[in-house]
Every structure is written in C-alpha cells, then in structure tokens.
Amino acid sequence: MKAIFDADANYAVRAGGHSGMKGWNNVDGGVLISFSAMTAVSYDPSRDTITLEPGIVWADAVEGLQSQGVAAVGARFNDVGTGFLLGGGISFLSPSQGYGADNNVELDVVLVNGTLVTATVDNEYADLFKALKGGANRFGIVTRFEVRAVHTGTADDKSWFGGLITYPPSSHGALLSATAHFAHNSTDPNAVLLSSYNNVANSIVGNAYMFYNGTIAQFNRTFAEFLSIPQSTSSLGPMSYIDIDNILASSTDESGHLQLMAGTALEGKAAGEDIDSWLQTYDLWNNYSTTFADQLTFGVLAISPVPQPQILAGRQKGGNAMNPPLKGFANLMFQIALPIADSDLSDEMISAREDYLQRSLQTDIFAPHLRAPTDAGFPINMNEHDVTQDAFETYGELELLKSTYAKYDPTGFNLAHTDGPFGLG
C-alpha cells in the first residue's frame, strides 16, 4: 500500500467473496490486492472470539468453526466474503447480536499511506474502529478481523425451528404486508425473517425464510400472520444454526454472472397502516423483472427486516456508523443477474433501471444522485446498494465518518484512486 501511495497509482482490493458493485473489487490499469491466500479462521476460547483472515468466505468460516459450537455473525449467502463486515452486515444472527460489524473486537488496518494500526473500541484508533462499522473500503484495508463468538451449537444441535414457505403471486401482497408488520412489531431477538420475490424465466415466487431460536409453539405464535397466508409449499422443522446458514447455499447459482443491486430502506408498518411505499417498491421491481425477463438470469427483491432488538444490540456494543433510529424498518434490495456471456445492460434496461432508482417517495436528500424509494432517516444497506446511490448520506453518523476520513486520509487518496461509495469528500 505504501508503494501504491508513493506511486500515486490506482488500486482495488479483493477479499474472498462476491460483490454486487461492478468494479469495486477489480481495477483496470492499476494494482489489485487479492487476499485469496489468506483464508484462515480460528476460535480462541480464552477470549471467546473468532479471528478471520480477509480472504475467507462465510461457508468456510462456518464449516471451520461448527465442530466447536460457535459462529461469527456472518452473511446469509455462503459465497459472501469479509467485506460483509465493513458494510455493516445483516445476518441470520442479527436480531439478537446486531449487525455483523457490531461484533468486531479488534481490527488490523493498513492505512492509505501503508501504516499498519490495530483499532479497538477503546484505544487511540477508536474513531477508526467505529468508522469501519459500515464505512466499506474507504478507511483502509483490514487484514485481520477479530469478532465476538456466538455459541450457536454444532450441526447436531437442533435448537431452532423454521424453514422456507413459498407463496403464489395471488399471495404476494399479503406476504409484503406481513413483512412490513414484522419489521414494525418484532421485539423478540430470537425471531429471524428474510422475505424475497424471485423472478426466473418470468415465473415469480414469493418466499419467507423464517426461523425461531426456540420451540415450535413460539415459532407459530411469532409467525402466525405468515402461516395464515395461502401457500405453494412449506418446509418447516427443527433446525441447527448450520442448517439455517446453508438454507440459501443452493438456492441460487451466481458464479460468473454480472450482478447489479440497488437498495432502499422503508419503515415498518403497524397493522392498519398503509403500505403504499412497500407496494410501490414491489410494483417497480415486478415491472422491471417482468419486462426484461428474457434478458436476465434472475431478478430478486429481497427484504431484510431490521427489528428493534438488532438496533439495541448494536448500541449496547458501542454503536455503528449506520446508527438507525430505534424504530423497526427493513432494507429492500433489487438485484438482477445477467447471463454469463453478457457484460453490460442494454440501453433499455439501463434507462428503466434509472427510472426505478430515481423514484423518491418522501425526500430529496439524495438529489442530484440517483435514488431508490426510501423513507428518510433510515440507512440503506451498503452491501446491497447501487454505485450511484449515496449510502453514506443515509447514515446517522455521517459527520463522524467525514471527520474520521479526513483525519486518516487527509489528501483524499482513497477516494481518488479506488472505486467505492462516495459522499465523504
């Protein structure tokens, strides 16, 4: 990094997993730093922490630890890498543990000028430590993550209940409403939900991935609204955390496909409140994925509730750069994947996608940049946004991020020489 800095060169950093942001983990005419050879994971019982090298993917992290009955607060897709932690990170463990980044304990960081520092919550680099809880690739290169261990049990410990229910198109509105209600109402850290709509070859399926760390009776009470909606298929039963972590492993084949994402954040809704903003987002996604179905491998609208317990857990662990208000909300992610042979969208697809991104419901805080429908005051998910969206602008700790960036990169080298989110300069 010092050589790159001294040479005024462009660069990129590649960890082990995929990125939805084209160009962020590669560089043309510059230096690529790849962590493909740094893939170790270990558990320290004396500190009750897990150490991850940056080239590992979450499938290998989970597999490497499951025999010891512990896991890191990691990604829901197995092929995601450690950049997940730098973007905040929503996990199946998040309702009880906070964002993935909330569980950082110690980070080794190479600063833009090549200096190596170790950042913790209470040392001289505490400001850098907090900025890295959501600051993506803008504050340095993390070469070692030490994170809290969660005692999830082994593959034989079936302490959870849940699974997947799919819904036909006639139930999609009801599924959307139930998800909005869950985001608003859930105060139980043991309850986990991910809803999604998948369009493959113009066949659209609604999905609810629901899990409860407890009994079937507790599961049934918590997810009663979802269980009452007419279903296509249901696969529920006792599960270990390893089962849950693997549930999305075989649901998509993303290798080699150009993928693009766009993010929004919408406040949860109590029963009886209108869900117009949620419906508009669904309609925009549905129109796009249907219109261009023959040009896409798949289109997905994924909805990740961020309930109050998750926000509280983060605050109790020192806070993060997103710093959402203490109100249940959801991050909604519009994702498309092109066939392997395709490297660019057609002009029509680009225009329609920009139309989706430019819709604004209640705020113009993103102007003049492209923006997805969003409710003001709630952070969009850095790991699921579009390169044209200003994710930092939605963060509660934006001013802290700006001042910390200016402190550790006073010449603006990172912003000038590597792709990533904008809004700090």
pLDDT digits (tens, 9 = 90+) for 1-17: 999 999 999 999 999 88
| Average pLDDT for 278-299 | 90
What's the sign of the alpha-carbon dihedral 230, 336, 268, 276? Answer: negative
DSSP reduced 3-state for 295:
helix
Task: Give the separation between CA 54 and CA 34, rounded to whole angstroms.
Answer: 9
Q: Is the pLDDT of residue 402 over 80?
A: yes
Task: Give the separation between CA 90 and CA 310, rounded to whole angstroms.
Answer: 9
In which band, very low, low, confident or very high, does the pLDDT at 22 lie, cut at 50, 70 and 90?
Answer: low
- pLDDT: which is higher, 364 or 53: 53
Task: Give the separation between CA 131 and CA 108, rounded to whole angstroms.
Answer: 14
Task: Give the separation between CA 123 and CA 146, rounded to whole angstroms.
Answer: 15
Task: Give the separation between CA 233 and CA 86, rounded to whole angstroms.
Answer: 36
The residues pairing with 265 across neighbouring beta strands, listed in sequence order, are 331
Task: Give the separation between CA 63 and CA 60, rounded to whole angstroms.
Answer: 5
Percentage above 90 pLDDT, the chain: 78
In which band, very low, low, confident or very high, does the pLDDT at 256 lie, cut at 50, 70 and 90?
Answer: low
Task: Please give the structure tokens belonging to residue 380.
Answer: 């969009």
Q: Is the pLDDT of residue 369 over 80?
A: no
CATH topology of domain 160-394: Vanillyl-alcohol Oxidase; Chain A, domain 3 (3.40.462)
- Quote the radius of gyration of the chain (alpha carbons, Å): 21
Q: CA dist 62 to 65, 97, 98, Å? A: 5, 16, 18
pLDDT digits (tens, 9 = 90+) for 320-340: 999 999 999 999 999 988 888
List the alpha helices (DSSP H) in 132-171: none
Q: Where are the domains of the chain?
A: 2-153+398-412, 160-394
Question: Residue 159, exposed/middle/buried by CB under 10 A (0-12, 13-18, 19+)?
Answer: middle
DSSP reduced 3-state for 206:
strand
Closest CA to 117 of 408, 317, 397, 420: 408
In which band, very low, low, confident or very high, does the pLDDT at 89 lie, cut at 50, 70 and 90?
Answer: very high
Q: What is the architecture of the domain spanning 2-153+398-412?
A: 2-Layer Sandwich (3.30)
HSE-CB for 184 with a 13 A CA cutoff: 17
Pairing of strands 11-14, 31-34: parallel
**E strands, 312-378, in order:** 329-337
